[in-house]
Amino acid sequence: MYTVVTGAAGFIGSQIVAGLNARGVTEIIAVDNLENADKFRNLVAGEIADYLDKREFLERLHAGQFDEAIDAVLHQGACSDTMQTDGRYMMDNNYRYSRVLLDWCQDEGVPYLYASSAAVYGAGRVFREARECEVPLNVYGYSKFLFDQHVRRRLRARSAPVVGFRYFNVYGPNEAHKGRMASVAFHAFNQFRETGKVKLFVGSDGYGDGEQRRDFIHVDDVVAVNMHFLGGKDASGIYNCGTGRAQTFNDVARAVVNRVRAARGEALLALEALVAQGLIEYIPFPAQLVGRYQSYTEADLERLRGAGYAGEFMPVEDGVAAYVERLLEGAGAA
């Protein structure tokens, strides 16, 4: 029997493959679209049984070639570009594709774990898994929101577990291929090594310079949440997957700069000193993000804890430092 991971060559998908391997699971069908060929690097360390292009996978699925051959589907494949303006492309990838897989899993009685997003909450200030809290700001958020709504309508009559995870701001290894959609920590690291400073936005939405706040979660914690629900009791539903802790962009930048400085044998500095020395710089807020930007996110974890997940989540200070350590190893030098 196989476990299917879609988006397996992507950021979170490849780390889920690693998480499965750590549990001794290697009969994995990795599904992705390698038109961005460099993503293959994310799968090099993983043990899988087969790789299938998304299109071939769907063709074989419809042809019945995987009937009674799959234990679970972990659906991470999606277009995650929040600036994407092609709504047809976004809905086909994030909504229609997800529905096709859900239909198949329900027909076959196969557990289905999938990636939703905190983007469904838009500019709200309450991040609870409830319809009244969900007002997406862009078509990416809408595509995730609409599929979550579809799942809610089907939960009562489900034939197998269905679990959605609303990922907050995920960071960690294997995200380099995401380009401009990579995490704040990734971009801050590269900016600091290349220019000697990290650039953050000036204040917006009532927040001071760099004081916009997000729930930043390390990808290892995301994997741990997925592994908790895989193969466990049927705790079907939609859950926030964040730390429950809003931290500032300044916190992320400070953690990045100080970890690099420590690797160089330099003293750690407070935020004020980093700004005074020009190591953190504030730049104008982009016009194209006005009205489409989440200045604050913080996961409400009540439902996740109620489903039995008791794991602790890394704060930015620890998680970003660990990530920068990995990035420094990859860069070959401090």
The residues assigned a catalytic role are 140, 178
**Tokens (6 digits) for 190:** 């590269």
Q: Give residue 192's Cα distance to chain centre.
A: 23
DSSP string of 23-42, one letter each residue = TT---EEEEE-TTSGGGGGG
**CB–CB of 5/29 below 8 Å?**
yes
Count of beta carbons in the 10 Å neighbourhood of residue 30: 23
Reduced to 3 states (helix: H, G, I; strand: E, B; else coil), residue 5 is: strand
In sign, the C-alpha dihedral spanning 303, 173, 280, 137 is negative
Query: Beta strands 28-32 and 50-53: pairing type?
Result: parallel
188, 199, 182: which is closest to 286 by C-alpha?
A: 199
